[in-house]
Structure 1
Amino acid sequence: MLSLFGVGAVLMRGAGCTINDMWDRDFDKKVARTANRPLAAGDISTFQSFIFLGGQLSLALCVLLCLNYYSIVLGAASLSLVITYPLMKRITYWPQLVLGLTFNWGALLGWSAIKGSCEWSVCLPLYLSGVMWTLVYDTIYAHQDKRDDIIVGVKSTALQFKEDTKQWLSGFSLAMLLSLCVAGINCDQTFPYYSAVAAIGAHLAHQIYTLDIDKPEDCWKKFASNRTVGVLLFIGIVLGNLWKQKDSKDVEEPLENRVLCSWLPVFQQHCFTSPEKSHMKGTVATSHSQIPGLKPSGCDKR
């Protein structure tokens, strides 16, 4: 099941990026950083990108159909967010919020795939923590392009928050940590999990305190460092479940699997593909897995 979710996360991540590039090809032509992208540069046609998208969605559907009926319906419900997210930057200064709602859907789907339905007392806090995390790192990333965004007419939380960005990021980080604690309490997590949450809090505090929103290089560095957050939480969940098994002879495997499957798509999306922006030159928006910190092929805000 973990492997199945890993494949599904890669496919839907790639499909979202392809859709984003299709919507934004006219914007991309106007920005030097994105002008060489295949669609913007005219290296491939819109029709060819539709064919590529069809292949991605077809494979993703095959993965989805391996799940139970509840999960199939829940997974299909996310497609509207995937399609409409690229439009949000045209109409609201909160596209990062919509990205978070889209990007972290796997936190709901993983649990239902094992259990047959969502345990909302765990899934909703976990989902909310992912949304808050997305708001943190993608707002940081958006500060790299804020000058171009004003010229092109693209909206973002970076333009909305301006000099108050650090206060907003602190609030989002606190909400993320509280949500993780609530999720942990509701699924009887153990010491290693809460240790990981504490380490994440320290990492985010340092990240925000040292952030210089007017230096694109520093914004990129802080953005890329968020892979550490995902790794810490994944390790915390795994070790927390092992600790739980050690302390109890009743090792009901589905609980551990539900927690891991709920987090795995979020972990894969955030840590092995670059959240939201920046394509590798010469590639169409694809689902190539990369560790942030290298120049990634992911979705771009434009």
Structure 2
Amino acid sequence: MPQTELRFDGRVAVITGGGRGLGRAYALLMASRGCKVVVNDLGGAIRGDGPDTSVAQGVVDEIVAAGGEAIANADSVATPEGGKAIIQAAIATWGRIDALIHNAGNVRYGSIRDISYDDFKSVVDVHLMGAFHVVQAAFGHMCDQNFGRIVLTSSIGGVYGNKNCVNYGISKSGMIGLNNVAALEGEEFNVKSNVIVPSAVTRMAEGIDISQYPPMDPELVAPVVAWLAHEACSVTGEMIASIAGRIARMFLAETRGVYRPSWTIEDVAAACEQFHDKGAESPKVLDFGLHGHVDHIGYSFAMAREGVDA
């Protein structure tokens, strides 16, 4: 059977960092499916220097030329005032905000030992604090209209870590906590929040040898993000990876664990291998999902009550 086309007619999306790379691909795809788009981008260099408002406007011009609706916005996500102004641009123009995709980012490399505080803070302010600023500004509107979709951007550097980018790693792992809370608080209001973990060849790949990479254009990631931003999206509180045409769910998990009524330091050392054992069969690896806070406690308490490994 032919698939029903998923469209965004009547919907309004804000895309931060929408002027280049992944954000541009998201904006063009969603606009081609009827979405009204606020293209937010400072248009600066990769470090965040030298704003250029023509970058966002160029994407808007492409959308309008193709028959779509879009406006450009150059407010900074790095301040609460900027975050509010970005969301307000959507409200003032179209009266609502249905989808928020936080994609804005900058890169300033440095190890834990050597990075300057300014370089550390600059990246955290855009990626992590920027996410909070726009989510907070949009969240009330979404809850009040009983609909919203939030897509936050993490990275394999945030999930697994990477050397010489501690600011980026902290920021991208922080998305997991923000996403979980937004998903939980939005649950009763039909506001869903998810994380995209994208990999694509953009200007952030400058200086990396990509000669052996498979095709990794931003357009391979865009349909995943568009689905997460669509009313048909069926998941919330999840991390979805998209790399070189592969889509996967990423998640935090726990081993079955070990119970004893009391422990010594030596007991912990002796049990290390056991509580690290993932086993070969479920349920030795536990995926508690969105309500993991409660389920983790309940599972652990059951072990304690029963006095044995659950």
Per chain length, whose mean CA-contact separation is higher, i.e. which structure has more relative contact order (CA < 8 Å, sep 6+)? Answer: 1
Q: TM-score, normalised by structure 2?
A: 0.32
Please say which structure displays the higher CA radius of gyration.
2
Which structure shows the higher strand fraction?
Answer: 2
Q: TM-score, normalised by structure 1?
A: 0.33
Which structure shows the higher helix fraction?
Answer: 1
